[in-house]
């Protein structure tokens, strides 16, 4: 469809009539067809616009036929286009409305004021972000994370809406009274006792790791416990559990690294998938393979190549977004 | 703002004649790039939720700006960048949605829908073109048109499938055709 488009558009009513002619002809029986063609011819004779409209509609139809020729299976193509179109509609409705606001205004980055439903701080997949809060507390957000900040006279509350955050608590020197620093995660509340710690939310559990100092954990169901420096805990529906042997360095991500020790391949792939957009999974036949190493989060692609070199696996990618780790043939 | 290296894009000013504005002042584009690159990348990162893809599309956006004949209005370069970037984001989503739907279909129908790589590539391109063409139509109108044009169903069959009257089906198909006609012959 590259031909230059000529002059003024034809009247819409004429185009509609030409389309109606086209549809009538297509559904006509053979006997009807002959008489219809004669009448169509007369219609085309009546005005040059009619003829041009008819030519174009016929041309358009020809182009559709060409398109159909390039599709191997028409019946299967219909649901594909339907699904993809619906998916696209949904995305546009969700996200492009926001883009519209950005253009309508001064073109400035949207602030929270305009988007109250979004978290105060958020990161996209593969993104990391360091934020210094008013009290001097430094937080680092990991990939695909969202954090709300709710400070008042009584407390400094951080609400982890999604993902993972590393907190380095500040002195809060300007405050009149001591205000505890708390991080609320899916399965509990963590109160800092002068410290640097990491909180991560997954679907079925929250995880807390203490790098320095101590943290008091309060489970949603009322139990509480103190976590000491160097310890890691899992908070889930059943309570608080100490994690003894870690296969993943809980705070290496803050340095842009993925550090693993004797981790199962499926767990490793799931971890890597957090930093990449699209589908990344692992065949069950190789899920139990184990690996150790230090990887750069910035280049998941290289990590995948490394897997191919060191393990008996092959990285099968059907598109950029669809990748599966499979046993090597 | 940190100075960004410019190697890839700037080399294009040599190989491809840019618009008049940039030919007269070769540094104007560089200034624009330096002033807005990080901002645009951040904007795209939010939209796409993928920093790698955002970097790619940032690059593409500046490339479009460089190669198109439009004059950049002095005050609103960001609005223009966003307009271009928005189009690219939709292109990206469209391709993503298509690939997903295509792979799902392949998974359920491995025998009937597993053409050779070349044919597959052509099919994907055609489907992408088709989706773009039908964008903006109401789902029912789109479905009616697809069933008619590709599915080869009659108006009566489509009416039964969509649970609307035959008359409505005809109206749907006609309005989809008008939509395509306008895109094809009246878009500038």
Q: What is the nearest CA distance from B73 to chain A, expressed in angstroms?
A: 13
Contact B169, B158 (CB under 8 A): yes
CB contact under 8 A, A67 and B126: yes
The DSSP bridge pattern shows strands A290-296 and A313-317 to be unpaired
The DSSP result for B73-125, as a single string, is PTT-HHHHHHHHHHHHHHHHHHHHHHHHHHHHHHHH-TTTT---HHHHHHHHH
Give A20 or A222, the one with higher predicted confidence. Answer: A20
pLDDT at A110 over 70: no
Residue range A50-67: mean pLDDT, rounded: 88
pLDDT at A255 over 90: no
Q: Which residues, in sequence order, are bridge partners of residue A201?
A: A206
- Name the 3-class secondary structure at A96: helix
Whole-structure pTM value: 0.50
Q: What are phi and psi of B41, to 5 degrees?
A: -65, -40
The pLDDT tens digits for A174-213 are 777 788 999 998 888 999 987 899 999 887 889 999 998 8
User: Which of A71, A87, A103 is opposite residue B101, by nearest beta carbon?
Assistant: A87
**Residue A267 sits at the chain B interface (C-beta within 8 Å):** no
Contact A125, A146 (CB under 8 A): no
The pLDDT tens digits for A61-86 are 888 888 888 887 777 888 899 999 99
For chain B, which residues score pLDDT lower than 70?
1-27, 67-75, 108-115, 187-188
In the prediction, which pLDDT does A115 show? Answer: 30
Give Cα separations from A122 to A137, A139, A148, B121 (angstroms).
17, 12, 9, 36
In the prediction, which pLDDT does A7 show? Answer: 56
In the prediction, which pLDDT does A31 show? Answer: 84
pLDDT, averaged across chain A = 82
The DSSP result for A8-74, as a single string, is SPPPHHHHHHHHHHHHHHHT--HHHHHHHHHHHHHHHHH-HHHHHHHHHHHHHHHHHHHHHHT-S-H
CB contact under 8 A, B184 and A124: no
CB contact under 8 A, A322 and B130: no
pLDDT band at A47 (very low <50, low <70, confident <90, very high): very high
In the prediction, which pLDDT does B80 show? Answer: 83
CB contact under 8 A, B135 and A81: no
Gap between the Cα atoms of B15 and B30, Å rounded: 16
- Name the 3-class secondary structure at B168: helix
pLDDT over 70 percentage in chain A = 90
Q: What is the DSSP letter of A94?
A: I
CB contact under 8 A, A87 and B97: yes
Closest B-chain CA to A20: B174
Element (H, E) at A314: strand A313-317
The pLDDT tens digits for A144-184 are 888 888 888 888 999 998 899 999 988 777 777 788 999 99
Spatial neighbors of A55 by CB under 8 A, at least 6 apart, are none
In the prediction, which pLDDT does A188 show? Answer: 87
Gap between the Cα atoms of A201 and A163, Å rounded: 5
Which tokens belong to A227? Answer: 């976590």
The pLDDT tens digits for A277-326 are 777 888 888 999 998 888 888 888 889 888 988 899 999 887 767 788 99
**Residue A56 sits at the chain B interface (C-beta within 8 Å):** yes
Q: Please report which residue ranges of chain A form alpha helices under DSSP H.
A: 12-26, 30-46, 48-69, 74-91, 97-104, 265-273, 300-310
In the prediction, which pLDDT does A215 show? Answer: 92
In the prediction, which pLDDT does B72 show? Answer: 60
pLDDT at A131 over 80: yes
Residue range A210-234: mean pLDDT, rounded: 88
Which tokens belong to A69? Answer: 């020729």
What residues of A are in contact with residue B43 (Cβ under 8 Å)?
102, 109
């Amino acid at each position: 469809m590259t031909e230059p488009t000529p002059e003024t558009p034809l009247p819409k009513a004429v185009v509609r009539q030409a389309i109606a002619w086209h549809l009538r002809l297509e559904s006509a029986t053979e006997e009807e067809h002959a008489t219809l063609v004669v009448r169509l011819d007369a219609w085309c004779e009546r005005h040059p616009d009619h003829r041009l409209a008819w030519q174009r509609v016929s041309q358009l139809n020809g182009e559709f036929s060409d398109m159909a020729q390039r599709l191997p299976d028409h019946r299967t193509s219909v649901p594909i286009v339907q699904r993809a179109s619906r998916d696209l509609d949904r995305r546009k409705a969700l996200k492009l409305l926001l883009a519209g606001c950005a253009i309508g205004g001064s073109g400035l980055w949207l602030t929270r004021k305009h988007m109250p439903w979004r978290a105060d701080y958020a990161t996209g997949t593969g993104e990391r972000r360091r934020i210094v809060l008013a009290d001097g507390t430094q937080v680092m957000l990991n990939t695909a994370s969202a954090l709300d900040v709710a400070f008042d006279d009584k407390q400094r509350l951080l609400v982890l809406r999604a993902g993972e955050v590393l907190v380095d608590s500040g002195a809060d020197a300007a405050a009149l009274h001591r205000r505890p620093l708390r991080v609320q995660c899916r399965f509990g509340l963590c109160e800092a006792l002068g410290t640097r710690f990491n909180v991560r939310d997954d679907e079925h559990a929250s995880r807390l790791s203490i790098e320095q100092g101590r943290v008091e954990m309060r489970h949603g169901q009322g139990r509480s416990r103190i976590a000491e420096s160097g310890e890691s805990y899992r908070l889930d529906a059943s309570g608080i559990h100490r994690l003894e042997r870690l296969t993943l360095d809980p705070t290496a991500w803050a340095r842009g690294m993925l550090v693993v020790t004797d981790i199962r391949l499926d767990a490793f792939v799931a971890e890597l998938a957090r930093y990449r957009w699209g589908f990344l999974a692992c065949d069950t036949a190789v899920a139990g393979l184990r690996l150790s190493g230090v990887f750069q989060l910035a280049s998941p692609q290289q990590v995948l190549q490394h897997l191919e070199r060191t393990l008996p696996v092959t990285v099968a990618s059907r598109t950029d977004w669809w990748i599966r780790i499979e046993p090597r043939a | 703002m940190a100075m960004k290296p410019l190697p890839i894009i700037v080399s294009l000013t040599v190989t491809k004649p840019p618009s008049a504005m940039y030919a007269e002042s070769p540094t104007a584009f560089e200034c624009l790039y330096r002033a807005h690159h990080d901002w645009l990348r951040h904007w795209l990162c939010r939209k796409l939720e993928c920093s790698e893809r955002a970097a790619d599309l940032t690059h593409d956006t500046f490339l479009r700006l460089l190669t198109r004949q439009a004059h950049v209005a002095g005050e609103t370069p960001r609005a223009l960048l966003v307009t271009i970037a928005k189009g690219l984001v939709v292109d990206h989503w469209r391709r993503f949605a298509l690939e997903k739907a295509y792979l799902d279909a392949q998974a359920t129908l491995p025998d009937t829908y597993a053409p050779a790589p070349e044919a597959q590539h052509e099919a994907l391109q055609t489907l992408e073109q088709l989706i773009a063409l039908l964008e903006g139509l109401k789902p029912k109108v789109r479905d009616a048109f697809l069933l008619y044009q590709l599915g080869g169903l009659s108006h009566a069959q489509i009416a039964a499938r969509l649970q609307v009257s035959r008359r409505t089906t005809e109206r749907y198909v006609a309005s989809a055709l008008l939509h395509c006609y306008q895109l094809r012959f009246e878009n500038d």
